[in-house]
């Protein structure tokens, strides 16, 4: 066990040499170091959003699990909040507001960080839209990029700027900043655009859930705009065989993607990308960039 003081908070770091990504030899200590290295750009995307954790205490080749509740033994200085669930009940959840909390979570073998499309205290008031583009083999992220560009142009017609990041898995996320609007209305608008995409690009896009429909096409998942749903945060690691990262990308990179490997990034790639691009998703955090949700059909 190693004790370290970060911004005045004492954090106990344990089993730092435990390998969590065997294929890459990436340890828990590497996870802690990675999150420390991207904290400056990651934390603004987590601030005031209840966090759901994907933990993998024995590594990615063993069982991982989603944790929404406040873990036992959580330090008193970690921010927690009450979040409503379906049926009217509430649960307590962690809000990752600062570097000590981020590193405390990393020490719990939290690999993935997921957040909703709203911020506290405005639970259920969406301040962004998200489209999760999921390719069905043999489609890949290359086809996702074509769909993302269609969505970008469609959103622009409604006065909504948009930005992209890799999912850190197979696909791509398209996000648009909103002036706060009810999550139900935001989800309805996203569903309409997904349906429009399927109508405009029938050989490329499907907006229906059944996997049998997705072969060779891109599923435009709009459901993550519901107030109960969450999306992988920018810069989060993913619990994949290698330490892949959900990485913000530029529209030039999206346009230039010719091979699936063109938009695959792991933890070791992020330092140079941040030096070169900064945070391409920074406009999501700027209220002056947010657009008004269009009225219904």
Q: What is the pLDDT of residues 261-293, one digit of tens each?
A: 999 999 999 999 999 999 999 999 999 999 999
Task: List own/partner pairs for 202-208 with CB under 8 A and 24 or more apart.
Answer: 204/139, 204/143, 204/146, 204/147, 205/147, 206/136
Q: Pick out the chain residues at pLDDT < 50.
A: none
Q: How many CB atoms lie within 10 A of CB 187?
A: 20
| Dist CA 59 CA 55 (whole Å) | 9
pTM of the model: 0.95
Angle at CA 163, nearest 5°, toward 160 and 164? 140
H or E segment to which residue 219 belongs: strand 218-221
Structure tokens at 175: 């996000």
Beta carbons of 71 and 31 less than 8 angstroms apart? no
* Span 16-38, pLDDT tens digits: 999 999 999 999 999 999 999 99
Mark out the alpha helices in the chain (DSSP H runs). 28-46, 99-107, 141-157, 183-200, 251-255, 270-277
Confidence at residue 296, expressed as pLDDT on a 0 to 100 scale: 64
Q: How many CB atoms lie within 10 A of CB 259?
A: 10
């Amino acid at each position: 066990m190693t004790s370290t003081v970060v911004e005045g908070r004492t954090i106990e770091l344990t089993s730092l040499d435990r390998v969590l990504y065997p294929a890459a030899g990436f340890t828990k200590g590497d996870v802690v170091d990675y999150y420390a290295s991207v904290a400056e750009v990651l934390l603004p995307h987590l601030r005031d959003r209840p966090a759901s954790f994907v933990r993998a205490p024995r590594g990615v080749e063993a069982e991982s699990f989603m944790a929404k509740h406040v873990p036992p033994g959580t330090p008193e200085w970690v921010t927690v909040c009450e979040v409503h669930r379906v049926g009217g009940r509430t649960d307590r959840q962690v809000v990752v507001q600062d570097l000590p909390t981020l590193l405390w979570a990393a020490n719990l073998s939290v690999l993935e960080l997921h957040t909703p499309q709203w911020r506290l205290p405005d639970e259920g008031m969406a301040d962004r839209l998200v489209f999760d583009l999921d390719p069905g083999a043999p489609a890949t992220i290359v086809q996702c990029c074509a769909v993302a560009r269609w969505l970008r142009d469609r959103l622009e017609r409604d006065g909504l700027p948009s930005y992209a990041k890799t999912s850190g898995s197979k696909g791509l996320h398209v996000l648009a900043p909103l002036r706060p609007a009810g999550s139900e209305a935001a989800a309805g608008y996203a569903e309409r655009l997904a349906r429009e995409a399927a109508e405009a690009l029938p050989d490329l896009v499907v907006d229906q859930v059944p996997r049998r429909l997705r072969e060779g096409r891109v599923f435009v998942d709009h459901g993550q705009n519901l107030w109960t749903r969450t999306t992988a945060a920018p810069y989060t690691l993913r619990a994949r065989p290698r330490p892949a990262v959900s990485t913000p990308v530029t529209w030039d990179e999206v346009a230039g993607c010719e091979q699936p490997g063109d938009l695959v990034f792991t933890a070791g790639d992020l330092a140079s990308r941040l030096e070169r691009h900064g945070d391409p998703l920074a406009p999501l955090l700027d209220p002056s960039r947010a657009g008004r949700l269009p009225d219904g059909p």
